[in-house]
Amino acid sequence: MSADLTKAMAPTLDPAYASLLSSGELARRVKQARERLKECDLCPRRCGADRLESAEGAACQTGELAIVASHGPHFGEEDPLRGYRGSGTIFFSWCNLRCVFCQNADISQLGCGRPVTPEELASMMLQLQEEGCHNINLVSPSHVVPQILTALLIAATAGLRLPLVYNTGGYDALETLALLDGVVDIYMPDMKYADAAVGRRLSGVSDYPLVNQQAVAEMHRQVGDLVMDEHGVAQRGLLVRHLVLPDGLAGTAAIVEFLAQQVSPDTYLNLMDQYRPCHNADKHPELTRRITAEEYQRAVGHAREAGLDRLDRRR
């Protein structure tokens, strides 16, 4: 690869973790995170399993090694992530949510994938950088933060310099997010529901809105509003996803009001219209159809009325 091309492919800003690597703080974070695996409380389920011994009893069904379903450049993400060279995605298997309509249930709930060592995970990160991706996009990372940090230390020492994207279902513990402060460049959480009863019925957790709102506020505190380079490629900040569900089940009006008033009116929001019945959605009558154009436009109207103007639009 030529020197000129390498310079052109370099990110505009140094990734957040670069300074933690040089100070030794990244290595300390790895140690702290791995300690949490002994009686696991990494996610809000706080199952208490000893994941260093086995996956037995773990809510995420994942032990000491992360399980990866696939990795590679992805061109289906939001424009600020995929840019013109793709987002370097690593799809982790299993999840701390049990969404009945999950479009990737074979990965998130059936565990399709293989265990990888920290060295293998680091190699994936470096490979994605070599392929020219704009970022390392960690998909469903909430239950494997120690494994990610361990691999990141190896990869960063070997020359990884891409921004990290934390692509999460939004059910994240504040204590775990504290481990990622100064590590993650771009947070991309879902905000799935505004009603706890809906979250319990559709994703299997009783406190989704409270946990989710606290997590999103903390993510914004760490990285601020989304910042892009001159090419429109994300460098740092918060990008929120919200999937509009039939009959207003997701509580879109309350979620956009929270973002505008409690996080930032400059929040970059992807209001997603691609809901379709998947997985076990057919067991829930309210989820057996796609949303209508009118329902989606109503959601956009709620966002505009709340004061959110940075709505994702695909080129």
CATH assignment at residue 71: 3.20.20.70
Outline where DSSP puts E strands in the chain.
Answer: 66-74, 87-92, 114-116, 136-139, 164-168, 186-189, 227-228, 234-243, 268-272
pLDDT at 143: 98
Nearest by Cα to 243 from 204, 272, 266: 272
Residue 37's domain comprises 3-306
pLDDT tens column, 177-211? 999 999 999 999 999 999 999 999 999 999 999 99
pLDDT at 13: 76
- The SS3 of residue 58 is coil
Which one-letter DSSP state was computed for residue 190?
B
d(CA 108, CA 94): 4
- Residue 55 belongs to a domain: yes
For residue 99, pLDDT over 70 is answered with yes
pLDDT at 57: 96
Nearest by Cα to 109 from 124, 95, 126: 95
What share of the chain in percent tops pLDDT 90? Answer: 95
pLDDT at 176: 98
pLDDT at 315: 65
- Residue 314 belongs to a domain: no
- Residue 222 belongs to a domain: yes
pLDDT at 12: 59
Locate 184 and state its tokens. 């993650």
- Residue 312 belongs to a domain: no
pLDDT at 314: 77
Question: Residue 40: which pLDDT band, with cuts at 50, 70 and 90?
Answer: very high
pLDDT tens column, 276-297? 999 999 999 999 999 999 999 9
For residue 11, pLDDT over 90 is answered with no
Sign of CA dihedral 212, 217, 219, 224: positive
- Residue 210 belongs to a domain: yes
pLDDT at 2: 36
pLDDT tens column, 229-269? 999 999 999 999 999 999 999 999 999 999 999 999 999 99
Pairing of strands 234-243, 227-228: antiparallel
Nearest by Cα to 263 from 207, 303, 218, 211: 218
- Say if residues 93 and 112 touch (Cβ distance below 8 Å): yes
pLDDT at 9: 44
- Say if residues 88 and 135 touch (Cβ distance below 8 Å): yes
CB-based burial, 86-125: b 16+ in 10 Å, e otherwise: bbbbbbbbbbbbbbbbbbbbebbbebbbeebebeebbbbb
- Overall domain count for the chain: 1
Averaged pLDDT, 39-56? 98
- Residue 315 belongs to a domain: no
Averaged pLDDT, 109-137? 97
d(CA 89, CA 68): 11
Averaged pLDDT, 300-305? 98
- The SS3 of residue 70 is strand
Question: Residue 312: which pLDDT band, with cuts at 50, 70 and 90?
Answer: very high
- Residue 204 belongs to a domain: yes
Averaged pLDDT, 172-181? 98
For residue 274, pLDDT over 80 is answered with yes
- Residue 220 belongs to a domain: yes
For residue 8, pLDDT over 90 is answered with no
pLDDT at 194: 98
What share of the chain in percent tops pLDDT 70? Answer: 96
Identify residue 292 by its one-letter amino acid code.
Answer: T
